[in-house]
Copies of this chain bind each other. A is one copy, B any other.
Amino acid sequence: MKNKHMERHQTLREKILETIREAILKGNLKPGEKVAEPELAERFGISRTPIREAFRQLESEGYLTVIPRKGAVVAALSERDVQEFYAIKSILEGYAASLAARNLTEKELERLETVNRKLRSLAEEGDVRSFYRVHNEFHEIFLKAADNSKLYGLIHQLGMKFNRLRMASLSVNGRMAISVDEHEKLLDAFRRKDPETAENLVKKTASIGSKVLLESMMNNHHGDTVNLNQDKH
């Protein structure tokens, strides 16, 4: 067998897929922008075939809008899209919380408490980036505890498209501290094995987050669609 460079398991298609997806998420490819196959093929020095296949996948994932015989454009998100997606995400996360409330072990609860203590100190320091990372860790724990892999996958799929926006949402002043308080209430519900309360708390948190987000979007709006790129301007 070949134990040498087994890292080479990724196909060109998979690599280009991730590259394009990353470019869209990072804002290097902006919503509404046209994505031409020959250009990408030239840029990456490969043929059109893997690119075309990646396009089909990206289309299914909602990153690209493909018009037959015309080409592909980066999917533009209207405020309405954001609202809808956020509502769905909150409902799914709420459900995950209710499942987690039933399943969480003592060990996991302690873990959540540890993570939230860390969040409190990060909020005080005002370290948004670290807060964001650890915040995700908190959610990861109870998402996994919900023990529904399809749910987990769906939430992640939705989350991926809004990660950058969520970061912006947390940057709003005081938002981090509030988040920690909300987590504390949630932890309380978890400890009491109270699925309903846990669900409602998560839903409420998400709905507030959505509101904050939409407001920040309204401020620097570009027509009726939104650019996910938050690094510039």
Contact = CB atoms under 8 A, between A and B. Distances in A.
Contacts of A154: 88, 154
Interface in A8-56: 9-11, 13-14, 49, 52-54, 56
Contact of A95 (B56, B91, B148): B91
A95 B54 CA distance: 33
A66 to B, nearest CB: 10
A95 B91 CA distance: 7
Nearest to A94: B91
Measured as residues with beta carbon below 8 angstroms from the partner, the interface class of chain A is 20 to 34
Interface stretch (A57-65, A116-124, A164-172, A221-229): A57-65
Query: What's the dominant secondary structure at chain A's contact region?
Result: helix
A95 B87 CA distance: 9
Contacts of A68: 9-11, 14
Contacts of A69: 11
Contacts of A13: 56
Contacts of A91: 91-92, 95
Given A56-B57, A57-B56, A60-B61, A88 B11 contact: no
A81 interface: yes
A84 interface: yes
B150 A85 contact: yes
A160 B9 CA distance: 33
A84 B149 contact: yes
Given A53-B53, A57-B56, A68-B11, A92 B88 contact: yes
Nearest to A69: B11
A61 to B, nearest CB: 6
Contacts of A85: 150
Interface of A: 9-11, 13-14, 49, 52-54, 56-57, 59-61, 68-69, 81, 84-85, 87-88, 91-92, 95, 148-151, 154
